[in-house]
């Protein structure tokens, strides 16, 4: 008899291979709002219960509510993730809470009324009601959840590839993988070093006509916003509505911030003793929903107060943070960027005596080479630090298998941060001798733009791994 699963497959990458499984049945599919794909799924695959991300809140709000105060108290931490996620696209506090409670009631009904063996989520979690909430409720029922996470991207010719690992969400453990048995491709971690620069070079070499047209999408987005302002209509993203005027307001906000940031940056001096912290892009799920401590101001203050005398902390903002989003897929961050980057944010950083903001155009590779150490929550810069054998302070070590490395400083308290920097001052030099073992054991590679056959992996996860009971 097949085991029933809830599948969160936003990119339509997994459902075909799982449908062919003789062991697993997709009882409920959460996916993107693509009419052509949805018609194919219904006509060819017979998956009965499908909810799109854009219609998820509308669907759950129509359901009858059945929930207790005890349950509400039990999932308070999940509610915080949900409201943080909705902050990216909505400013209505009452609606955010209403959507959350409706979704919580919905997921409780799903796991009460159906015999679900596992929840499988493809890609990184967003802290949303359609993904993180499902996994948290499943955990409370003793139902295991697995997240097939994306970590790093690379391009080769016209193909894209992604480095991945599987998180047992219920146990907060990374799943060791038998690549040959599960039909998985090994990762070559060196292919992902400094990949944004490699990607940009390859992307600029050759574009299809369709890709060329995508360059106009941001302008289309702005024109759409203007049209909606005139018609007094909201912009909807992932089923969440916001005023279209935010986009125009935040274009000016970003331009003003960029001028202000550039006015307070200091010259980079590689001859000094320094630690490097590369700011994460915000708002972004990589730290919002995954990291236990995601306030970057607080993290930088911890580092600042623990720095050895005479050392400085170089902080560089993410290269995309202060752009005008004239690239496909980024314009919608203009809805809420004003909540995550402000002049006061930079002023707070600039007030710290041993913290220096530096130009975003300086290559991180050049900064890493001369640094005494690198610090990040869970950014891709960690891999570059490992490449140069630099001491690495991870403030979100749980969010990557790289956090399992012996020589990585796993910061879980202010005291740990202080101890790590004392070690650096004493001349600690990491070896990272277990890096290849960690990569071989936990990472695998798939194509980014194509459907992936992960049937053997899903069968293994659902039937053979530990539950969280």
pLDDT in tens, 348-390: 999 998 999 999 999 999 999 999 999 999 888 898 999 999 9
Over the stretch 12-38, which tens digit does the pLDDT of each residue have?
Answer: 999 999 999 999 999 999 999 888 899
Q: Please report the pLDDT score of residue 112 as a whole number.
A: 96
pLDDT band with cut points at 50, 70 and 90 for residue 223: low
The per-residue pLDDT of the chain, averaged, comes to 88
Strand partners, 146: 120, 168
What's the CA gap between 388 and 355, in Å, rounded?
A: 23
The answer to whether 175 and 146 have CB atoms below 8 angstroms apart is yes
Topology given in CATH for the domain delimited by 198-438: Rossmann fold (3.40.50)
Q: CATH 3.40.50.2000 in the chain, residues?
A: 198-438
Q: Please report the pLDDT score of residue 227 as a whole number.
A: 57
Helix intervals (H) in 13-118:
15-19, 35-40, 56-62, 69-74, 76-87, 93-113
Q: Can you say whether the dihedral through the CA atoms of 62, 69, 92, 28 is positive or negative?
A: negative
Instruction: State the pTM of this model.
Output: 0.88
CATH placement of domain 3-187+444-464 = 3.40.50
Judged against a pLDDT cut of 50, whether residue 177 lies above it is answered with yes
Q: Please name which of 376, 400, 401 lies closest in space to residue 390, comparing C-alpha atoms.
A: 376
Q: Can you say whether the dihedral through the CA atoms of 135, 137, 140, 144 is positive or negative?
A: negative
Over the stretch 254-296, which tens digit does the pLDDT of each residue have?
Answer: 999 999 999 999 999 999 999 999 999 998 877 887 788 889 9
351, 352, 356, 358: CA torsion to nearest 10: -50
Judged against a pLDDT cut of 80, whether residue 444 lies above it is answered with yes
Selection from 94-98, 246-250, 450-454 with the highest mean pLDDT: 94-98
């Amino acid at each position: 008899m097949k085991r029933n699963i809830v599948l969160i497959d936003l990119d339509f990458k997994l459902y075909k291979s799982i449908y062919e499984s003789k062991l697993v049945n997709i009882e409920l599919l959460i996916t993107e709002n693509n009419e052509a794909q949805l018609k194919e799924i219904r006509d060819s695959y017979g998956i009965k219960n499908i909810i799109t991300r854009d219609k998820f809140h509308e669907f759950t709000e129509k359901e009858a509510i059945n929930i207790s105060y005890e349950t509400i108290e039990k999932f308070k931490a999940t509610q915080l993730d949900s409201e943080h996620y909705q902050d990216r696209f909505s400013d209505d506090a009452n609606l955010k809470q209403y959507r959350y409670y409706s979704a919580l009631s919905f997921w409780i009904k799903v796991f009460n009324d159906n015999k679900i063996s596992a929840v499988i989520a493809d890609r990184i979690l967003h802290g949303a009601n359609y993904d993180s909430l499902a996994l948290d409720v499943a955990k409370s029922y003793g139902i295991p959840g697995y997240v097939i996470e994306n970590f790093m991207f690379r391009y080769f010719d016209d193909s894209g590839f992604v480095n991945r690992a599987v998180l047992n969400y219920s146990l907060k453990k990374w799943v060791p993988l038998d690549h040959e048995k599960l039909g998985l491709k090994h990762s070559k971690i060196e292919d992902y070093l400094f990949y944004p620069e490699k990607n940009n070079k390859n992307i600029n070499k050759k574009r299809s006509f369709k890709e060329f047209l995508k360059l106009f999408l941001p302008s289309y987005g702005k024109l759409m916003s203007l049209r909606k302002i005139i018609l007094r209509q909201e912009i909807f993203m992932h089923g969440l509505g916001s005023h279209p005027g935010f986009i125009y307001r935040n274009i000016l906000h970003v331009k003003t911030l960029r001028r202000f940031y550039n006015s307070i940056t200091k010259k980079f001096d590689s001859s000094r003793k320094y630690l490097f912290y590369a700011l994460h892009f915000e708002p972004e799920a990589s730290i919002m929903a995954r990291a236990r401590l995601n306030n970057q101001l607080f993290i930088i203050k911890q580092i600042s107060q623990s720095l050895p005398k005479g050392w400085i902390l170089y902080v560089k903002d993410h290269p995309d943070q202060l752009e005008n989003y004239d690239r496909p897929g980024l314009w919608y961050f203009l809805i809420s960027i004003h909540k995550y980057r402000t002049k006061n944010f930079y002023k707070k950083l600039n007030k710290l005596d041993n913290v220096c903001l530096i130009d975003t155009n300086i290559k991180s590779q050049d900064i890493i080479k001369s640094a005494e150490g690198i610090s990040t929550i869970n950014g891709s810069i960690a891999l570059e630090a490992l490449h140069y054998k630099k001491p690495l302070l991870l403030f979100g070590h749980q969010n990557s298998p790289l956090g399992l490395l012996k020589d990585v400083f796993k910061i879980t308290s202010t005291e740990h941060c202080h101890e790590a920097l004392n070690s650096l001052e004493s001349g600690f030099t990491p070896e990272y001798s277990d890096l290849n073992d960690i990569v071989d054991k936990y990472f695998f590679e798939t194509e980014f733009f194509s459907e992936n056959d992960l049937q053997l992996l899903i069968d293994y996860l659902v039937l053979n791994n530990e539950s969280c009971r």
